[in-house]
Amino acid sequence: MFAMTHVRLQAQLAESKAEIQKLRERMPMGTPTVHKDLSLISLVPKCSGLESAVPLEDSAQIGRWEQADKLRIDVLKLTDSAKMFYNACPELHGQNATWEEFKRAFRKRVTEVHSDQYNFMKLQTARQGKDESPQEFADRCRGLAQKIIVKTDYPVAQRIHRENAERMLLASFVAGLSGVPGRQGGYFAP
C-alpha cells in the first residue's frame, strides 16, 4: 500500500515538474514577474479633490501600480464637487489622459477654489477646536490672515492691507475662542 502511494506521489510530482517547465518555456526570458497589489486601494481615502495625493502615491508605490492605475483609482475615490469637476473635464476622460494631467487639473482647481473670499470666510468663521490650545488656534488664525493679505508693490497700500488683516485676525481670534478664555474675551470685547 505504501509503495503504491509513493509511486503515485512520484508520478504527480513528475507531472508538476513538467508543467512548471512548460510554463517557464512559455515565459519570455528576462521578464520580471511583477505583481500589483490592488488590495491597497482600501488605504486610499475618498477625496473631494482638495486633499494631497500623498496617500494614493504611497499606496501606489508599495502596490507597484502604474500611472493608469493611479488615475482610475483616484477617479473612483472622488466625491461630491470633485466628481462633478471631473465629469465636466472631458480631457481627463480620454485614453490619453495621464496621472500628471489629472493632478495638474485638480491643483489648478484648488487655487481657483481658494479665492480671497474663501480665505476671508475661513478666517471669519474660525473656531477653536476641541483639543486645540489657544496658542495653536492663534497660529491657525494667523496663517488664515496671511492668506487674505493683498500683495501690492506700493508700501503704503501694503501696510494698510496688513493692518486690516491684523484687525480681522484679532476679531476672529477673540470670537473663535472657546471655554473660559472665550468667555473672558467676550466680556472685554467692544
How high is the pLDDT of residue 138?
A: 87
What average pLDDT does this structure show over 57-77?
A: 82
User: Where a domain ends, among 113, 129, 159?
Assistant: 113
Q: How many domains does the chain have?
A: 2
CB-based contact 126:140 (threshold 8 Å): yes
Alpha carbon 107 to chain centroid, angstroms: 11
Does residue 16 have a pLDDT over 80?
yes
122 and 178, same domain (yes or no)? yes
pLDDT of res. 187:
47
Residue 77 confidence (pLDDT)? 82
Give the lowest-confidence range in 9-13, 63-67, 111-115.
Answer: 111-115
- Judge whether 44 lies within some domain: yes
Euclidean distance between CA atoms 183 and 134, whole angstroms: 13
Q: What is the pLDDT of residue 119?
A: 80
How big is the chain by its Cα radius of gyration, in Å? 29
The C-alpha cell of 166 is what? 491684523
Question: pTM above 0.85?
Answer: no
Last residue of a domain, one of 78, 113, 148: 113
> Is 73 contained in some domain?
yes
Give how far the C-alpha of residue 114 lies from the chain's centroid of Cα atoms, to the nearest Å.
16
Residue 181 has pLDDT above 70, yes or no: no
Residue 157 domain-assigned (yes or no): yes
Helices and strands (DSSP H and E) totals, the chain: 9, 0
Task: Tell me the C-alpha distance between 159 and 150, whole Å.
Answer: 10
Q: How many CA atoms lie within 13 A of 110 on its CB side?
A: 13
C-alpha cell at 93: 476622460
Single residue among 113, 137, 152 that ends a domain in this structure: 113
> Is 85 contained in some domain?
yes
Nearest C-alpha neighbor of 107 from the set 133, 74, 76: 74
Chain mean pLDDT for the chain: 77
Assigned domain for 2 exists: no
Domain containing 158 equals 116-188
Does residue 68 have a pLDDT over 80? Answer: yes
For the segment 150-167, what is each residue's pLDDT rounded down to a tens digit? 777 888 888 888 898 899
Compute the distance between CA of residue 131 and CA of residue 4 in angstroms, rounded to an integer: 73
Q: Helices 155-176 and 179-188: crossing angle, nearest 10°?
A: 120
